[in-house]
C-alpha cells in the first residue's frame, strides 16, 4: 500500500489506542506519530525521536500490533522509525544513543557552565512506576530541546528527584555543546532584583535569555513576588518564542501555587506537566541496592529489604537511612546486619528533624520581636505588632506547611483571605526590604536551633 493509505490506517489505530492507554502515555508516546508505509507485511510508524521508538518497541509493541491487525484483518509486523517534519524517515540506520559519555568534550559554543551536582545524571536515576513518565519526559527534552515538551513542568514533594532530573538534563545537553543554564528560583530572584537596583537589566537579560535551555528549580519560591514573576514572564516568552527549552520544577502543580500570576501559570501548563510520586517498594529497593553495593558489594538483600521497608516517604530520607547504616558498619568494622539497621534507624528517629509546630514558630517570633503571643493573635494594628503578625503567618505557611484556612484558625479565627494578604505582603516586601530579609534569616536560624534541641 502507499504511504497515504498507511496514514489512514494509523489514524484509525490512534483512535483506538487513545481509548486503551492512559492520557499521559498517549500524549507522551503516541500523539504526533504518523503512518509512513505498509509494505511486505511490515507497517512503518514514524516517531519524533529515538527514545519514543525504543519506548514504544519495549512497552506498547504488542498492543500496537494487535490494534493494527484488528483494523487491517491480517498479521503484520510493526517498526518504529524517526521521521522529519515532512514525514520522511531520517535514517534507516540504527539510532545512535543520545546519552553523552563523560569523555566527550563540549563544543566551543557551550560557554555557560552550569553549577551541577556530578551525581545527578540520567545514568544514576533509578526509574520506577512512581517516576517513569517524568524520567521519560526529561530524557526526551534532553534529546530534542525546544521542540518536544516546552515547557516541561516537573512537580513533587521534597526529596523525590526533581532537582536530579533538572541537573541530568543540563549535564546531558551541555556535553553535547548546548548552553544550559540551571539556577534556583531564589538565584533568579536575587539577580533580577540586583539588576533593577543597579540599573543593569541588560546583563540580566543577556544571561537568562541567551541559553539554549533555562532550567529553573523550585519556582514556588517566587510565589507572591510580583516583580520577579513579571521578569520571569517576559524571560519565558522570549525564550519560548525562540524555541529555547524551558524546564521548571516546583513543589506543586501550576494552578496550586499560591499567589502566582495566572498568565505565568498558563505558560507553565502550555507544555507537559508531570509529577513524581513517593517511591514504591521495588524502586526503593533498587535504589539502595545500586548505592549500597558500591561500598559493600557483599551486603545482603535482607539488610536492603529492612531499610526499604522502614523508609517510604522520599528518596532523600531513604539515602540518609542507608548512609547511617553504612556509616555504623564502617565504624564498628562489621558487615551490615538487619539488627544494625534497626539500631541505626531507631537512633535516628529519636533525633530526627520534623516540621516545626506552629506553637514553636509563635514562641520564637514572639521572643524575637519582644511581643507577646496574645498581641500577635490580637487585633492591635501598631506597625511592629502587625509586622510580627504577618511574619508569623508567613513562616507558619512556609515552614510548617499549613493551609491558609488552618493558619486562619491558629491566628485567632481570621479569614483565609486575611492570611493570604498577610503572606503576600511579606513576600512582596522581601524584594525591597533588606531588614525584613535579615529578620526572616535570624528567625529561621532560631527555629532550627530550638527545633533541634532535645
75-91 pLDDT, tens digit per residue, is 899 999 887 544 444 44
Q: How far apart are CA 66 and CA 54, in angstroms?
A: 18
Instruction: Please provide the size of the chain in residues.
Output: 454
pLDDT value at residue 453: 55
Q: Which of 45, 29, 56, 31 is nearest to 78 (CA)?
A: 45
pLDDT score recorded for residue 415? 84
Q: Looking at residues 236-253, what average pLDDT do you find?
A: 93
Calculate mean pLDDT across residues 279-291. 82
159 contacts 203 by C-beta, under 8 angstroms: no
- Phi, psi (5° rounding) for residue 258? -70, 145
Task: Write out the three cell numbers for 413.
Answer: 479565627
The answer to whether the beta carbons of residues 254 and 268 sit under 8 Å apart is yes
**Fold classification of 358-452 (topology level):** Chromosomal Replication Initiator Protein Dnaa; Chain: A; (1.10.1750)
With cut-offs at 50, 70 and 90, classify the pLDDT of residue 111: very low
CA distances from residue 414 to 161, 201, 369 in whole angstroms, order as listed: 37, 41, 21
Q: What is the CATH code of the structural domain delimited by 3-82? A: 3.30.300.180
Place domain 132-275 in its CATH homologous superfamily.
P-loop containing nucleotide triphosphate hydrolases (3.40.50.300)
Instruction: Report the pLDDT value the prediction gives residue 114, as an integer from 0 to 100.
Output: 53
HSE (side-chain half, CA atoms, 13 Å) at 359: 0
Lookup result for grid cell 479569614: 415
Residues 6+ apart with CB under 8 A from 179: 109, 110, 111, 112, 210, 211, 212, 213
Pairing of strands 34-39, 42-47: antiparallel
- pLDDT value for 103: 33
Whole-model pTM?
A: 0.55
The 10s digit of each residue's pLDDT in 150-177 is 999 999 887 888 999 999 999 999 888 8
Which pLDDT score is estimated for 99? 34
CA distance 258 to 409: 19
Instruction: Name beta bridge partners: 37.
Output: 44
pLDDT value of residue 364: 92
Find the DSSP H helices in 209-337. 226-241, 262-268, 281-295, 301-310, 315-332
Q: Could you tell me the three cell numbers for 116?
A: 551541577
* Rg of the chain on CA atoms, in Å: 26
In this prediction, residue 93 has a pLDDT band, given cuts at 50, 70 and 90, of very low
* 3-82 and 132-275 agree in CATH topology: no
Domain ranges of the chain: 3-82, 132-275, 281-350, 358-452
In terms of average pLDDT, the best of 23-32, 211-220, 311-320 is: 211-220
Res 353 pLDDT > 50: no
With a pLDDT cut of 70, the percent of the chain lying above it is 87
Report helix, strand or coil for 47: strand
Q: Say whether pLDDT at 346 is over 80.
A: no
Closest CA to 51 of 127, 139, 160, 122: 139
Nearest residue to 142 (alpha-carbon basis) of 80, 52, 213: 213
Mean pLDDT value across the chain: 82
Q: What is the distance between the alpha carbons of residues 263 and 226, in angstroms, rounded to a whole number?
A: 12
| Nearest partner of 68 among 83, 84, 55, 79, judged by Cα | 79
Residue with more model confidence, 425 or 97: 425
Q: What is the pLDDT of residue 91?
A: 44
**Burial readout 11-21 (b: 16 or more C-beta within 10 A, e: otherwise):** ebbbeebeeeb
Q: What is the pLDDT of residues 325-342, one digit of tens each?
A: 888 778 777 878 888 777
Instruction: Please name the residues in contact with 132: beta carbons below 8 A apart, sequence gap of 6 or more.
Output: none
Residue 137 C-beta-side C-alpha neighbours within 13 Å: 28
DSSP H helical ranges for 176-280: 185-197, 201-208, 226-241, 262-268
* 94: confidence class by pLDDT, cuts 50, 70, 90: very low
Give the burial class of 370: count Cβ atoms within 10 A of its Cβ; 0-12 exposed, 13-18 middle, 19 or more buried: exposed
Amino acid at each position: 500500500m502507499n504511504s497515504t493509505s498507511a496514514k489512514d490506517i494509523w489514524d484509525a489505530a490512534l483512535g483506538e489506542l487513545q481509548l486503551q492507554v492512559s492520557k499521559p502515555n498517549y500524549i507522551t508516546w503516541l500523539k504526533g506519530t504518523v503512518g509512513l508505509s505498509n509494505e511486505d507485511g511490515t507497517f512503518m510508524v514514524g516517531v519524533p525521536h529515538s527514545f519514543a521508538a525504543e519506548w514504544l518497541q519495549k512497552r506498547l509493541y504488542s498492543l500496537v500490533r494487535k490494534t493494527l491487525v484488528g483494523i487491517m484483518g491480517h498479521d503484520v509486523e510493526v517498526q518504529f522509525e524517526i521521521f522529519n517534519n515532512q514525514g520522511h524517515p531520517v535514517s534507516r540506520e540504527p539510532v545512535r544513543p543520545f546519552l553523552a559519555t563523560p569523555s566527550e568534550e563540549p563544543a566551543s559554543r557551550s560557554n555557560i557552565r552550569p553549577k551541577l551536582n556530578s551525581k545527578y545524571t540520567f545514568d544514576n536515576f533509578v526509574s520506577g512506576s512512581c517516576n517513569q513518565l517524568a524520567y521519560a519526559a526529561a530524557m526526551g527534552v534532553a534529546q530534542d530541546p525546544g521542540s518536544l515538551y516546552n515547557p516541561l513542568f516537573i512537580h513533587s514533594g521534597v526529596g523525590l528527584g526533581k532537582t536530579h532530573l533538572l541537573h541530568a538534563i543540563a549535564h546531558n545537553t551541555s556535553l553535547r555543546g548546548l548552553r544550559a543554564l540551571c539556577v534556583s528560583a531564589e538565584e533568579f530572584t536575587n539577580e533580577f532584583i540586583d539588576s533593577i537596583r543597579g540599573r543593569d537589566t541588560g546583563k540580566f537579560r543577556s544571561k537568562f535569555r541567551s541559553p539554549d535551555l533555562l532550567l529553573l528549580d523550585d519556582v514556588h519560591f517566587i510565589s507572591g513576588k510580583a516583580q520577579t514573576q513579571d521578569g520571569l514572564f517576559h524571560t519565558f516568552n522570549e525564550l519560548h518564542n525562540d524555541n529555547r527549552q524551558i524546564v521548571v520544577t516546583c513543589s506543586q502543580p501550576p494552578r496550586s501555587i499560591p499567589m502566582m500570576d495566572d498568565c505565568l501559570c498558563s505558560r507553565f501548563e502550555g507544555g507537559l506537566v508531570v509529577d513524581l510520586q513517593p517511591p514504591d517498594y521495588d524502586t526503593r529497593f533498587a535504589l539502595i541496592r545500586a548505592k549500597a553495593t558500591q561500598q559493600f558489594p557483599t551486603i545482603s538483600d535482607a539488610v536492603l529489604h529492612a531499610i526499604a521497608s522502614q523508609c517510604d516517604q522520599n528518596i532523600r530520607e531513604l539515602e540518609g537511612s542507608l548512609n547511617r547504616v553504612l556509616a555504623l558498619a564502617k565504624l564498628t568494622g562489621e558487615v551490615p546486619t538487619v539488627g544494625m539497621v534497626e539500631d541505626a534507624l531507631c537512633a535516628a528517629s529519636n533525633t530526627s528533624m520534623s516540621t516545626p509546630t506552629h506553637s514553636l514558630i509563635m514562641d520564637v517570633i514572639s521572643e524575637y520581636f519582644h511581643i507577646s503571643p496574645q498581641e500577635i493573635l490580637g487585633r492591635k494594628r501598631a506597625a511592629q505588632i502587625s509586622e510580627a503578625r504577618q511574619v508569623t503567618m508567613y513562616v507558619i505557611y512556609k515552614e510548617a506547611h499549613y493551609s491558609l484556612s488552618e493558619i486562619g484558625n491558629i491566628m485567632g479565627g481570621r479569614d483565609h483571605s486575611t492570611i493570604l494578604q498577610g503572606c503576600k505582603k511579606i513576600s512582596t516586601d522581601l524584594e525591597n526590604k533588606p531588614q525584613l530579609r535579615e529578620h526572616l534569616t535570624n528567625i529561621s536560624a532560631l527555629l532550627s536551633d530550638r527545633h533541634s534541641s532535645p
